[in-house]
């Protein structure tokens, strides 16, 4: 019968220490999130209701609901996704499938990395200069969403490129051996097998887009609007800006109101992310490799 040696026991103790250390790091990350959600649920949960979600703010935004801000946030997220995902996927396709390793490609990669590190307030000023003034979109959903799209492009590009590179190169070689062109291979084989990874970038973009305040404050979000937007050229309220306003600018706000708005914003992001994750899991189950 095999008996553990002293060396085996030391290795086992070392592995246990590493395992418990990693568990401690994981709990350190999870516990604050759970605590924040707990506080929001306890203080803001009682205020959540159908009337709160589907009515307009009243009494100087100290009462009523958040329906215009909720609809405006959905507008901003959807338009930003429609603008950034096609451009980000196209850029990733070029970098992964077509571009050679030269100074131009390295310069593009450096620009993507730098774009990811630019503060959101700088993106806001860029959005004002480019979309509000130069393209004359005015302060509108379109200007705000395009600003958010530029800000989140690096997330889409990086996640898409990694997903494309994760597809086995043998798949491409098999298609080329059958006489398929490069684009036919990309469209029929590479992209379908990389969609689940691309959705990871979309999930991250949704989370960041819905929660940003500075880029939309100067480009399209309004302090208060008693009506819903009718097109992308209208201004709109947004949950993130509404939360900032009632927390810092509006006096005599009920204590539970900011917590209820924050909880609604988190629930909206979680709902969108859950839909994307469910679709991604379904796609992964269909994948054959």
Q: Mean pLDDT in runs of 10 for the chain (289 residues)?
A: 68 87 88 91 92 90 90 94 93 89 86 86 93 94 95 91 88 87 89 84 84 90 87 93 91 91 91 82 69
Question: Would you state the pLDDT for residue 216?
Answer: 93
Domain ranges of the chain: 6-47, 59-286
Let me know: does 270 contact 281? Beta carbons within 8 Å: no
**Residue 109 burial (CB < 10 Å; 0-12/13-18/19+)?**
middle
Topology adopted by domain 59-286? MetI-like fold (1.10.3720)
Residue 84 DSSP SS3: helix
Query: If you average pLDDT over every residue of the chain, what do you get?
Result: 88
Residue whose tokens read 């959905």: 74
Residue 78 DSSP SS3: helix
Distances in Å between the Cα of 228 and the Cα atoms of 82, 141, 265 are 20, 12, 18
Question: Measured on CA atoms in the order 163, 169, 171, 173, is the torsion positive or negative?
Answer: positive
Q: What is the pLDDT of residues 108-125, one digit of tens each?
A: 888 888 888 888 999 999
Question: Would you state the pLDDT for residue 1?
Answer: 47
Q: pTM above the 0.85 mark? A: yes
């Amino acid at each position: 019968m095999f008996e553990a040696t002293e060396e085996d026991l030391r290795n086992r103790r070392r592995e246990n220490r590493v395992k418990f250390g990693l568990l401690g790091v994981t709990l350190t990350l999870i516990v604050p999130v759970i605590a924040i959600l707990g506080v929001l649920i306890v203080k803001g949960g009682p205020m959540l209701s159908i009337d709160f979600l589907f009515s307009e703010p009243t009494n100087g935004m100290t009462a009523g609901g958040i329906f215009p801000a909720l609809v405006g946030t959905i507008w901003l997220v959807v338009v930003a996704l429609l603008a950034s995902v096609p451009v980000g996927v196209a850029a990733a396709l070029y970098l992964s499938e077509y571009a050679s390793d030269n100074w131009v490609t390295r310069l593009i990669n450096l620009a993507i990395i730098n774009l990811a590190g630019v503060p959101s307030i700088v993106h806001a000023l860029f959005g004002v200069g480019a979309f509000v003034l130069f393209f004359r979109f005015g302060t509108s959903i379109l200007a705000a969403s395009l600003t958010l799209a530029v800000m989140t492009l690096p997330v889409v590009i990086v996640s898409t490129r990694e997903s494309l590179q994760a597809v086995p190169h043998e798949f491409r070689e098999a298609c080329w051996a059958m006489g398929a062109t490069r684009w036919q291979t990309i469209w029929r084989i590479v992209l379908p097998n990389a969609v689940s990874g691309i959705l990871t970038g979309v999930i991250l973009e949704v989370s960041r887009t819905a929660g940003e305040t500075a880029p939309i404050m100067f480009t399209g979000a309004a302090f208060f609007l008693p009506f819903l937007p009718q097109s992308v050229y209208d201004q709109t309220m947004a949950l993130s800006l509404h939360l900032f306003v009632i927390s810092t600018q509006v006096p005599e706000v009920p204590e539970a109101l900011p917590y209820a708005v924050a909880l609604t914003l988190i629930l909206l992001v979680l709902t969108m992310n859950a839909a994307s994750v469910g679709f991604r899991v379904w796609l992964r189950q269909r994948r054959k490799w």
